[in-house]
Chains A and B, each alone.
Chain A
Amino acid sequence: MFKYIGKRILMMIPVVLGISFIIFTILALTPGDPAQMILGENASLEAIEELREEMGLNENFLFRYVKYIGGAVTFHFGDSYRTGLPVVEEILTRLPNTLALAFFGIGLSVVIGVPIGIISAVKQYSVFDTVSLGLALIMTSIPAFWLGLMLLLLFALKLGWFPAIGITDWTGFILPSVTLAIGSMATMIRMTRSTMLEVIREDYIRTARAKGAGEGRIIRRHELRNALLPIITIIGINFGLQMGGAMICETVFSIPGMGSLMITSVRQKDVPMVMASVLFVAVAISLINLLIDILYAFIDPRIKSQYVKASR
């Protein structure tokens, strides 16, 4: 088991290096000059050239990349072109908001979506199933920015229950979380339903019924337990994606998270900030995937036994 985890962590190194190289290349090759961006359209050519020299932008591309990676391995990710402050500081102030939003959003979609999916599967083709299918279709079709604005109009402006901007306290998280949750809830419902349906047709379910197990026990112990793997995977993938921030949601609700940070940085050609954010997201997604794989072992004894065999 530990050998496996160690191997997986080592495998992250080439992945992260590869990603860093691709992003660095894209940022270097796409048109646009960070120095020009900082100084604006009123700058003279001399001023731009001077700043390019100062920022080391005139050096060879590969040299700059190696220099960057050299800094990154010692956790020196540089200073932002835009603010002049260390990028790590900026990411650390944004991260809690992104984490909280991801927890709330995905938590909400799990707490509501999974039970709906289970009931839909158990009562297949019932009215409930049809309604949930319709709901899922609507939820997945609604654009997040529209939903966000509608929620703002209703709950912030008409009813005045929640603040329209910012996240000064927990009430500020509710509308963005709902917006996020509705986007991913449809997947959650449909995924739960279809995997449950697969499991329901298995022989061991019939066996369990035949030996007289109660319906509730069958659903929880035999069906859900076996249907859990794909659901966990979806949760993990969603959570990983959220580390890059929910850009639209963050923009509509003015939340200072990773998404808005990355958007601003890309627009401003703030190379150190983009690099550090992307690397962070890459590492976070890799770690979450690893965590899910480990979770598999705890949920599914068959997978656990594979690890044990492999380590022998």
Chain B
Amino acid sequence: MKNTRWRGGFLSILMAFAMLLAFAGCSSSGGGSDGKNASTAGGAVSDGKESVILAITGEPSSLDSADANDLNTFSIQCNLYDGLIRQEKDGSLVPGLAESWSYNDDKTEITFTLRQGVVFHNGDPMTADDVVYSFERALASSATARITASMEKMEKVDDSHVKLTLKYAYGPIESCLANVNCSIVSKAAVEADAKGFARNPVGTGPYKFSSWDSGSKIVFTANEDYFRDAAAIKTLTYQLVTDTSAALIALESGDVDMIVSTQAADRENIKNNSNLFYDEVSASSFYFVAFNNTKGLFAENPLLRQAVAHAIDREACLLGAVEGVGVECPSPIPAPCFGCPEGFEGAAYDPDLAKQLLAEAGYPDGVTITIKTMESGVYAKVTEIVAEQLRQVGITANIEPMERTAFLSDVYTNCEYEICVNSYTALNPDADFIMYMRYHSDYLGGGNNFVMVNNPELDGYLETGRTSSDDAERKTAYLNACELMKKEAVMVPILSTMNGVACQANLKGVTANTSQKQYVYDYYWE
């Protein structure tokens, strides 16, 4: 009797657990179908397939173009918005929402003729008021400072013309206008819900926002009224895959169609897989050793900086830190950027010379230094190799790996370091973006010019590079700047990584991008 009661109890526990399983199963599948296009995004057959699932390793901070300030966010937003000028995937600049534009004589004013008949995702027509409003928003936002620094104001001339006034003539202004930060947003939509705009954006781009399951995925659908005709891919899903190995497995199993920023270690596997397509291009960012040029050991002793410069073997760094998947970076301007001096040779690797310079600098018996760097990924690896190379010439380098937030406040904000390993990313592929604010004395001391270099000659070259509209003159100015920085050993550029992209072999139109942008408008299934 009691025996059966026990059995009943045990059975009921089992049943309760089974019900729990069933219940949770139902509730989670119910949650999945909340996303309006979950069913279409899940279609796995490639015949007549019109959806793309793209794996991302981090969520964008916001979908508001005026809040974007990192490459990951840019690369997603470039499918939602258009600017007055549009950047093609090969980097060329073509008319976007402006049909044409003209400069005044001293190149401080640009008048744009707006494209007519363009509508926002909500159906409203795009007007000159929207354009002016978008620029007012972008100029007021602290996130866009890099891109909008040269802009003074945007004014409406008439219904089809707007005029942008610049603070100074600015060489790379057109590439700034093509940046996501200068996208045209719907004034009505922002005013209706300014706070909610970051998660319910309204632009004119090839895709419109559909849903965002926090921590899981973001779904866009094709804008059927797009002014360049609707995109071939109708549903675009950004699936958050936090683990890079899991992302590759998901690509191989077909759960995702594409991954961006592939790992160097996976490169050969992907290339050898006939079901996958792989493309790569060197990134518009680079790793380097930076000295504090104003405070501490290296500021007082230029010969010591020279010694470090000649002790570093770029090739060994490239092989050791990124398994050779990258390019050596001899100048402080990475290759994809306008202004990168071709054939430039950095300080040569010469351990004997380094030892000699060290002795001349007053340290014949060696010296002990502390290198600050970030603890993650390529930073840590480059630093370890550099430290070992310095040890070979008699410089004992202690490594202080730091969390990103701590590194930012120590190095960028407070300039509390003597030597560090760091990287810069050119938000736009132009030398001005990684030269002026980093090395000009106007920006001295924290935040931007944290290497604390204060050199009037260098300032002059950077000013020419910024304000001249003659490409040849700009190139010469940047070449001179690079030569000067090499001579003074302001910093030691090391390497650029590769931006790799991998997708299913029958997804066409995919190319690697120096800024990791994905122009999904150009994609189609074959």
Contacts and interface: CB of A to CB of B under 8 A. Distances in A.
Interface of A: 30-33, 36-48, 50-51, 82-85, 90, 93-94, 96-97, 100, 103-104, 107, 111, 145, 148-149, 152-153, 156-157, 160, 163-170, 172-173, 214, 216-217, 220-221, 250-254, 256-257, 260-261, 264, 267, 269
Given A165-B239, A260-B215, 7 more contacts: A36-B412, A42-B437, A43-B447, A83-B62, A103-B24, A152-B246, A170-B29
Contacts of B404: 32, 37, 267
Nearest to A257: B215
10 contacts: A32-B409, A39-B69, A51-B142, A163-B255, A166-B216, A169-B32, A214-B3, A254-B239, A254-B246, A260-B242
SS class, residues of chain A in contact with chain B: helix
Q: How large is the interface on B (under 10, 10 to 19, 20 to 34, 35 or more residues)?
A: 35 or more
Interface in B238-253: 239-243, 245-247, 249-250, 252-253
A13 to B, nearest CB: 30
A44 B198 contact: no
A33 B412 CA distance: 11
B137 interface: no
B27 A169 contact: no
Given A85-B199, A221-B6, A165 B250 contact: yes
B217 interface: yes
Nearest to A224: B6
Interface in B68-121: 69-70
Contacts of A85: 199, 214
Interface string B43-82: 0000000000001001101100000011000000000000
A149 B216 CA distance: 19
B406 A170 contact: no
Contacts of A30: 405-406
Contacts of A256: 213-216, 240
A172 B217 CA distance: 15
Contacts of B447: 43-46, 48
A145 to B, nearest CB: 8
A156 B21 contact: no
A280 B17 CA distance: 25
Given A149-B246, A156-B249, A269-B405, A168 B38 contact: yes
Contact of A42 (B69, B239, B402): B69
Contact of B20 (A82, A107, A160, A168): A107
Contacts of A32: 403-406, 408-409
Contacts of A264: 58-59, 215
Contacts of A269: 405
B276 to A, nearest CB: 13
Contacts of A50: 142
Given A156-B250, A165-B241, A256-B240, A100 B215 contact: no
B446 interface: yes
A42 B17 CA distance: 52
B475 to A, nearest CB: 24
B496 to A, nearest CB: 17
A157 B145 CA distance: 45
Contacts of A145: 243
A30 B70 CA distance: 24
A254 B142 contact: no
Nearest to B199: A85
Given A45-B413, A163-B255, A104 B24 contact: yes
Interface in B133-150: 142-143, 145-146
A111 B240 CA distance: 32
B488 interface: no
Contact of A93 (B38, B55, B213, B408): B213
B225 interface: no
Interface string B288-303: 0000000000000000
Contacts of A165: 55, 239, 241, 246-247, 250, 255-256
A216 B3 CA distance: 9
Interface in B427-458: 427, 437, 443, 446-448
B459 interface: no
Contact of B253 (A164, A214, A254, A267): A164
Contacts of B59: 264
A143 B406 CA distance: 29
Contacts of B142: 39, 43, 47, 50-51
Contacts of A97: 28
A221 B1 CA distance: 13
Contacts of A157: 249, 252-253
Contacts of B413: 33, 36, 45, 48
Contacts of B406: 30-32
A167 to B, nearest CB: 6
B342 to A, nearest CB: 26
Contacts of B343: none
A217 B62 contact: no
Contacts of B58: 264
A217 B402 CA distance: 60
B433 to A, nearest CB: 9
B21 A42 contact: no
Given A94-B215, A269-B405, A84 B195 contact: yes
B25 interface: yes
A160 B70 CA distance: 36
Given A37-B408, A256-B214, A269-B405, A152 B446 contact: no
B214 A94 contact: yes
Nearest to B57: A254
B405 A39 contact: no
Contact of A169 (B29, B145, B195): B29
B241 A254 contact: yes
Interface string B456-479: 000000000000000000000000
Contact of B145 (A43, A100, A103, A173): A43
A170 B61 contact: no
Contacts of A168: 28-29, 32, 38, 42
A45 B446 CA distance: 7
Given A36-B408, A160-B253, A103 B246 contact: no
Given A149-B249, A165-B246, A93 B214 contact: yes
A260 B448 CA distance: 32
B353 to A, nearest CB: 33
B410 interface: yes
A301 to B, nearest CB: 16
A148 B241 CA distance: 14
Given A82-B61, A93-B215, A33 B146 contact: no
Given A45-B447, A82-B61, A170 B24 contact: yes
A97 B213 CA distance: 12
A145 B249 CA distance: 14
Interface string B200-223: 000000000000011111000000
A254 B27 contact: no
A221 B253 contact: no
Contacts of A166: 216-217, 239, 255
